[in-house]
């Protein structure tokens, strides 16, 4: 079964909209674990518009499942993950003001930079995944960075799924087979939801982990958090 890591950024967005501590991010994270989530993901950004750096420190001390911290490897971000030492660091190529992650790394052009960052993180005992699209040459270049895993950017899959799910998933299947052949672990994330997740899981081999936030939190408004997490877990069986 692929692991479900719940991205709790949207909980922090709601809290920050009014100030104070409602909803309580720490309690929500603990509830996600209690309800079956096998990991917690956060993506702190420089402007702290949702997850704050202090949140990351507070979460580290209470989580019992795998902690995954996503972000662009700026000096401040790298200092944070070295302090916190999560199980996994997912590197994304986002510029500071971007709304959400919407592209993978150019692992060929950024080879030297990624290699240095990843070596440093692995030496400190953290697993590393890098956000990638389905281009096989880029995935081969990702191997040369030293990363443990890639996280396939599934935005295009989710967009095309309603009109032609086989065409939508085909490049991901091929990318996963290529990554497996290279010895890279495979994660996935972005716009996966209750409608498209089960098919993605059934068609993409060796899928180790999905990170889902926006859709899951939206579903929880109607279905409740515990029920929602259980439904997502069933899609991954």
Which residues are tagged catalytic? Answer: 43, 70, 190
Residues 6+ apart with CB under 8 A from 128: 88, 89, 90, 91, 118, 121, 122, 146, 147, 148, 149
Instruction: Provide the token pair at 89.
Output: 């660091």
Please tell me whether the peptide bond between 23 and the residue prior to it is cis, using omega within 30 degrees of 0: yes
Count of other CB atoms within 10 angstroms of residue 213: 23
Describe the chain by its helix, strand, coil percentages, rounded to 5. 50, 15, 35
Helices then strands, counting H and E runs in the chain, come out as 11, 8
DSSP-derived secondary structure letter, 161:
T
């Amino acid at each position: 079964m692929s692991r479900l890591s719940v991205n709790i950024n949207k909980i922090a967005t709601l809290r920050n909209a009014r100030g104070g501590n409602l909803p309580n991010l720490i309690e929500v994270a603990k509830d996600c674990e209690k309800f079956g989530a096998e990991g917690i993901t956060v993506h702190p950004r420089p402007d702290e518009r949702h997850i704050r750096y202090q949140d990351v420190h507070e979460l580290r001390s209470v989580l019992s499942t795998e902690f995954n911290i996503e972000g662009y490897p700026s000096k401040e971000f790298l200092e944070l993950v070295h302090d916190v030492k999560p199980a996994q660091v997912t590197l994304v190529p986002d510029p500071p003001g971007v709304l959400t992650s919407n592209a993978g790394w150019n692992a060929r052009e950024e080879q030297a930079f990624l290699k240095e960052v990843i070596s440093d993180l692995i030496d400190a005992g953290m697993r590393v995944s890098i956000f990638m699209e389905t281009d096989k040459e880029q995935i081969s270049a990702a191997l040369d960075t030293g990363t443990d895993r890639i996280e396939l950017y599934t935005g295009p899959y989710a967009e095309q799924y309603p009109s032609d799910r086989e065409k939508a998933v085909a490049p991901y299947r091929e990318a996963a087979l290529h990554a497996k052949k290279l010895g890279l672990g495979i994660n996935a994330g972005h716009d996966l939801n209750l409608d498209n997740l089960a098919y993605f899981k059934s068609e993409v081999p060796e899928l180790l982990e999905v990170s889902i936030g926006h859709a899951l939190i939206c579903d929880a408004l109607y279905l409740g958090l515990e029920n929602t997490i259980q439904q997502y877990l069933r899609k991954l069986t």
